[in-house]
Structure 1
Amino acid sequence: MPADSEDPSDDTQYHLDVGPDDVADAVLLPGNPERVERITQFWEDAEQRGEHREYRTVTGTYDDVPISVTSTGIGSPSAAIAVEELARIGADTLVRVGSSGGIQPGMNVGDLVITSGAVRQEGTSDEYVREDYPAVADREVVSALVAAAERLGYEYHVGLTMSADSFYAGQGRPGFNGFEAAGSEGRLEALRSANVKNVEMEASAILTLANLYGLRAGAVCSVYANRITGEFRQEGDERAAEVASLAVSLLAAMDEKKRTAGVDHWHPGLAIEQSN
């Protein structure tokens, strides 16, 4: 095999500019670097560990549990780089925290969508594995996100997400001067009929790579755009941030229950109090 042009075995990662001592086991993944502060405002403490290109990494604690956040930029190619390099330095739980467009009736701007699986309309994951390989969220992460949303009292939906490579043509929006890409006219309706909940640009690549590498991953996105009514408002970032942070704390508690019970997988029976 040819030699690597950038040696991925180096402790300090080429794109993220962080090493093994800079991140916790669980890392939240917003796209926009400006969302990092919206996430860390809920933590007890936070310290920046790296900033390079679109990638900004901060590590701290939430509910006394170590936690990190790394921004990924826009789209699956840059998100996949973050997953690759975080995995190399020891991260094992990844939660995308983003924004999306809701495409089902009854979804309001500001609601949260917890991804159970994703339609791989992006091309990045195709470079890793065959196109019929499923992009599935880890069930423990989904359970923790649902429990967090319930505990905090936020409106949420659980289901399938579509990840596209384009904000415009790939999500059924007109391009410059009203340009319409081939097949875009009925794209949202087809997804709606298939019970897909929302559209965004990173989740399916993150979930695919996490499954390939044996990591836990999930996603929680706020609804910025109601693609049925046309309403658009930047709302719900803080809710998604708080839910994801609490979910990491709940996952730590679930992991402790697994260790105590001597089992490898969390299940609802571990949380049931036995009366006799």
Structure 2
Amino acid sequence: MFPTPTPHISAKPGDFGKTVLMPGDPLRSRFIAENFLENPVLVNNVRGVQGYTGTYKGVKVSVMASGMGMPAIGIYSHELFNGYGVENIIRVGSAGAIQEHIHLYDLVIAQGACTDSNFAAQFHLPGTFAPIASWELLKQAVKAAEENGAVYHVGNVNSSDVFYGDHALVPEGLDSLYGLKKMGVMALEMEAAALYMNAARYGKRALCICTISDHILTGEETTSQQRQNSFTTMMKVALDTAVAMENK
């Protein structure tokens, strides 16, 4: 086990539940805690990365922000998996759609995560590695999405190391987006691949559920306030998944 407190988490052993929901935004972490958890307790606030633990439908559940990008979620997932005995991390974030049939506020449940990142190099693997979600988490999330009446899509996302990609500035930069689109990739985000790799490395489970906050090809988008406070269907699906996984 990694010694606790860790360099980036001040919580004590036992402060986190078996499952941690992980939004990128610390304010979304607080929103989930205040609006969905019973008796939430702040267990981490190092660097303003808020982590809370409470109960949901009688089950101990935690929520903690990851910040943006694969290096950040790589750090926090490593410390949660290895320092605090967390078994399941469910990323709850936003993503940009690149398929016409996917719309604002739809859910994308990432069965796999393509990436342009070099995150996997640390594992000294031959060839390439395919980061995939936990089947158990994926199965329970699809069930929860059905029960919550969500519009959802299951498939590949692309986890990118860049937000302001060159495609925004030059027409030929769009080639990479259309390449991903023709391969059926649903949406772009920035964390899932690293989370899935860490889960694979440490024998844990991970899943990424995102709400579509903007459409890369049409220009449709939500506001920052909407991204922080209105993605409640995704939150319910993730929390119901956490409850279903408590005894697995």
- TM-score when normalising by structure 2: 0.91
CA offset at residue 125 of structure 1? 3.2
Q: Comparing 117-126 with 188-197, which one deviates more in the overlay?
A: 117-126
Q: How far does the alpha carbon of each residue in 1:11-48 deviate from its partner, in whole angstroms, 9 at most, with x for none?
A: 21111222322111111111010111332212223111
- Alignment map for 1:18-37 (pairs within 5 Å): 18-37=11-30
Partner letter of residue 213 of structure 1? Y
Q: Say yes or no: does 1:137 pair with 2:133.
A: yes
Q: 1:232 aligns with which of 221, 224, 241?
A: 221
Letter of the 1:229 counterpart: T
Amino acid at match of 2:162: S
For 2:134 and 2:2, how far apart are their aligned partners in 1? 27
8 Å CA contact 2:95, 2:211 repeated in 1: yes
- 1:112 to 1:20, Cα distance in 2 relative to 1, 3 A: same
Which structure has the larger Rg over C-alpha atoms? 1
Alignment partner of 1:120 out of 93, 115, 125? 115
Amino acid across the alignment from 1:193: K
- Verify: 1:94 aligned to 2:89, yes or no: yes
Contact 2:110 2:157 in 1 (8 A): yes
CA-atom RMSD in angstroms? 1.8
> Residues 100-128 of structure 1: CA distance to partner in whole angstroms, max 9, x if unpaired?
00111211101110010110222323323
1:12 aligned onto 2:5: yes
How far apart, in 1, do the equivalents of 2:144 and 2:137 lie?
Answer: 10
Whole-angstrom CA distance in 2 between matches of 1:17 and 1:32: 18
Distance 1:217 1:101 in 2: 20
**Paired letter, 1:162:** N
Q: Distance in 1 between matches of 2:132 and 2:88?
A: 14
| 1:210-229 equivalences in 2 (<5 Å) | 210-229=199-218
Letter in 1 for 2:215: N
Flag the 1:129–1:24 CA change in 2: closer, same or farther, 3 A. Answer: farther
Whether the 8 Å contact between 1:125 and 1:209 is mirrored in structure 2 is no
Cα 1:129–1:206 shift into 2, 3 Å? farther
- C-alpha distance in structure 1 between counterparts of 2:30 and 2:161, whole Å: 26
Whether the aligned pair in 2 keeps the contact of 1:163 and 1:201 (CA below 8 Å) is yes
Any conservation in 1 of the 2:18–2:246 contact (CA below 8 Å)? no
What amino acid does structure 2 have at the position aligned with 1:21?
Answer: G
Once the two structures are TM-superposed, the CA of residue 173 in structure 1 deviates from its matched residue by 4.1
CA distance in structure 2 between the aligned counterparts of 1:149 and 1:66, rounded to whole angstroms: 21
Deviation at 1:185, TM superposition (A): 2.4
- In structure 2, distance between residues paired with 1:218 and 1:29: 10
Mapped to 2, the partners of 1:9 and 1:62 lie a distance apart of: 28
Contact 2:30 2:50 in 1 (8 A): no
Identical-residue share of aligned pairs (%): 31
Q: Tell me which residue corresponds to 1:258.
A: none
Q: Would you say how many aligned residue pairs link Structure 1 and Structure 2?
A: 240
Q: Is the 8 A contact 1:15 1:52 kept in 2?
A: yes
| Stretch moving more, 120-129 or 95-104 | 120-129
User: CA shift at 1:240, angstroms?
Assistant: 1.3
Displacement of 1:243 in angstroms is 1.1
What is aligned with 1:268? none
Aligned partner of 1:158: which letter?
Answer: V
- Is the contact made by 2:4 and 2:10 (CA closer than 8 Å) also made in structure 1? no
Q: Which amino acid in 2 is paired with 1:35?
A: R
Query: Secondary structure of the residue that 2:112 maps to in structure 1?
Result: strand
